[in-house]
Amino acid sequence: MTSIQKPENLKHGDTVGIVSPASKIDEKHIKSAVAQLEALGYNVVVGTYAAGQHHTFAGTDKQRASDLQKMLDDLEIKAILCSRGGYGTLRTLQHVSWDGFKKNPKWVVGFSDITALHSSLHNMGYASIHGVMTAYFTNEGKPSKSLQTLMNALTGIPNKYTFAHSKYNVTGEASGVVVGGNLSVLLSLRGTPSDIDTRGKILFIEDLAEYLYHIDRIMMNLKTGGMLSGLKGLIVGGFAGLKDNDTPFGMSYEEIILDAVRAYNFPVAFNFPAGHQPENYAIKMGCEAKLSVTEKGTEFHQK
């Protein structure tokens, strides 16, 4: 695999951009995020179509792509924050050139549908950040813990997370590059240039509002497609709002995931504080991490 290049750390007074490469978003969330970032000492540029609307999207594919392209090419922009996920990032990427970015790499931040961006960047050899987006920068009017972990990642401060043991965990230790993101989006990338090679890496997964049988369908795709057998470790984040059919599937999402990896020998950590939930802690995708899963709890450390 091509070695991963980390963009430069964000510095006080730097300029960051906000774009919406997928679904539309209420402008109030963008304005709140701008206020938070400015209070932290950063300049903020908001994309022309960041608060736009075209059907379910924040503008047409080409409009969303034009915003992203300007941020990628602008030498003054040191980090690009995606306002939200939803759906549409892969459509946007069809109209983007990476030539300018490769000459001047910068951090790209987001989660959910932004998994398509993370995977594309990983395959090109660049690190990115799976982290909180604009609607969750604050908690009861104050900067959220999720935002604090994001700013740590952007500025080069190591993040170390300790969280409670789950009865579904598989104990063990692992070191490796972290890849992954939203499980449904990972499935949608299979067979495309953004499909990732997971061999020898730690895979992170999370999802929202899916049917249990669909979680099983995806895990079976990853298993039969060879994406699970060579992992160093598996990290399972939030799986919120899951649904079942009138005829119950018969397994919890934890049991579905464990069933898919039962034949392999690597640690599995459930309840990781990331995903579609208030605790959405930053992960540097494409970067090394240490994972320790014990009966007392789980630790995740990343420089």
Q: pLDDT band at residue 2, thresholds of 50, 70 and 90?
A: low
243: left (phi over 0), alpha (psi -120 to 50) or beta: beta
CA distances to 56, 102, 109, 230 from 90, in Å: 14, 19, 15, 26
Which residues carry out catalysis?
A: 112, 206, 276
The model's pTM is: 0.98
Going along the chain from its start, the domains and CATH numbers come out as 15-157 (3.40.50.10740), 160-302 (3.50.30.60)
Question: 50-107: per-residue pLDDT in tens?
Answer: 999 999 999 999 999 999 999 999 999 999 999 999 999 999 999 999 999 999 999 9
Question: 231-286: per-residue pLDDT in tens?
Answer: 999 999 999 999 999 999 999 999 999 999 999 999 999 999 999 999 999 999 99
For residues 94 and 110, give the distance between their C-alpha atoms in angstroms, rounded to a whole number. 18
Q: Which residues touch 285 (CB under 8 Å, ≥6 apart)? A: 118, 121, 122, 127, 128, 129, 130, 178, 179, 180, 181
